[in-house]
Amino acid sequence: MPTVRLRTAAEYPPAAQKLFELSRSWFNHDFAEPPAMSRVMAWDLDFGGPHGRAMKRAMTPGEFTRGEKEMVAAAVSGVNACEY
């Protein structure tokens, strides 16, 4: 069970709604609620904003495809023993 109460998207201010829209577009998936991590990152946009931009920059296709990078991300999450 999460350490914090994850707020629903409706509990976030308009600035955060833009981030949720970006999240929906990034994953190309219509979530009933934005993913928990998106809602965590939207809690403090002064952190979540640059953190998300760095992630997006890293994940954008370049010498490696988006799919390859998702696989690297999964492997990194695995060796970090992160179930999320």
Partner 1 sequence: MTGDAVWYEAAQVVGITNALNVAEDTLGALGAIDESAAPVETRALFAEIRDFYGSDDVPQGFRFIGHDPLYAADVWAATRHAFTDKRLARRFKEALAFAVSVATRSASGATLHLAQMRRLGVGQSGVMEIVGVTQMFSSYTKIADTLQLEPDMGDIAPEDTSPAPGGPSR
CB of 35 to partner 1, least distance (A): 6
CB-hemisphere CA count at 13 Å for 35? Answer: 13
Q: Which of 21, 35, 42, 49 binds partner 1 (CB under 8 A)?
A: 35
* Residue 2 to residue 6: CA distance in whole angstroms: 8
The residue among 16, 6, 3, 7 whose CA lies nearest residue 42 is: 16
Nearer to partner 1 by C-beta: 18 or 53? Answer: 53
> Which positions lie near partner 1, rule CB under 8 A?
1-4, 6, 27, 29, 35-37, 40, 51, 54-55, 57-59, 62-64, 67-80, 82-84
